[in-house]
């Protein structure tokens, strides 16, 4: 379902001017129910001016009346003939002007810590072109000496879920190609939450691991032999008495 124009501002208007339920507003605006509740409580969208979907030809007034009378009714976005056939623009992600100078640092971070990502995947994450990625990957960028690698999530260029999805896709591609990866490479190819739960110690092959466990069981079942130690420390008492008599 398509979302209305300025969905958050539309949700503000619906919260302020209708008796629709949070679920109905969230479903129409493509938001979460708790986010709509936060708008009603004044914790979300502070300072956002409401956008009237009826006067802006996005919603019929009769739809609101029906939804207010029936809590199970779902609002329907008004059909817009001019939007028919319009496709989503294909190309790099748009990056605000204030963050464009941070893209080389994010690219260097991705190239350094996730070299398995293709140039296309890196370009989608940070919104850049393949020549720029290639220049940083080959260290021929004009400012490569001054670039410090920084996590693109920390820079706000992409979301953690988007990064995890791209990394997992690279993992599946490597697995389908039959490439054998080390423990360190597998740690890089999983999501952040999975990586934090992995052990730093290298895993022992299954055959050697079974052999080691069998050896430990045999050692535990065999009783310890301390006969030599006892014979060494428990000296005969008679010899000591005879030596004492000789001294006296």
Tell whether pTM > 0.85.
no
- What is the predicted pLDDT for the residue at 7? 85
Length in residues, the chain: 248
Q: Is the pLDDT of residue 146 over 70?
A: yes
Residues 6+ apart with CB under 8 A from 148: 105, 108
198-245 pLDDT tens trace = 554 444 444 444 444 555 555 555 555 555 555 545 555 555 444 544
Q: Is the pLDDT of residue 90 over 80?
A: no
Which of the two residues, 192 and 3, has the higher pLDDT score?
3
H helical segments located in 138-182: 152-155, 160-177
Q: Could you say which DSSP state residue 102 is in?
A: G
Give SS3 for 200.
coil
- pLDDT band at 160, cuts 50/70/90? confident
220 vs 215: CA distance, rounded Å: 9
Residue with tokens 């502070």: 46
Region of 47 please: left (phi>0), alpha (psi -120 to 50) or beta.
Answer: left
Range 25-47 average pLDDT: 87
Inter-residue contact 170 to 117 (CB < 8 Å): yes
Domain ranges of the chain: 7-79, 97-195
Cα dihedral: 177, 181, 184, 187 (round 10): 40
């Amino acid at each position: 379902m398509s979302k209305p124009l300025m969905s958050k501002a539309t949700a503000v208007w619906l919260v302020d001017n209708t008796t629709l339920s949070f679920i109905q507003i969230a479903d129409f605006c493509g938001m979460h129910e708790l986010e709509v509740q936060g708008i009603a409580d004044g914790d979300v969208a502070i300072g956002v001016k409401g956008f009237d979907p009826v006067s802006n030809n996005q919603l019929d007034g009769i739809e609101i009346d029906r939804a207010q009378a029936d809590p199970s009714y779902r609002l329907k976005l008004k059909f817009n003939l001019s939007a028919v056939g319009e496709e989503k623009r294909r190309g790099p992600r748009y990056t605000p002007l204030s963050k464009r100078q941070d893209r080389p640092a994010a690219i260097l971070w991705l190239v350094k810590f996730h070299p398995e990502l293709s140039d296309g995947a890196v370009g989608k994450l940070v919104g850049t072109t393949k020549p720029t990625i290639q220049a940083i990957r080959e260290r021929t960028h004009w400012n490569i000496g001054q670039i410090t690698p920084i996590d693109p999530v920390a820079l706000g260029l992409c979301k953690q879920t988007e990064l995890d999805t791209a990394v997992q896709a690279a993992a599946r591609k490597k697995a389908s190609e039959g490439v054998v990866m080390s423990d360190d490479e597998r740690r890089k190819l999983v999501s952040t939450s999975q990586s934090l739960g992995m052990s730093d110690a290298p895993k022992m092959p299954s055959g050697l691991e079974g052999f080691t466990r069998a050896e430990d069981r045999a050692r535990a079942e065999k009783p310890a032999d301390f006969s030599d130690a006892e014979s060494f420390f428990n000296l005969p008492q008679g010899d000591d008495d005879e030596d004492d008599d000789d001294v006296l």
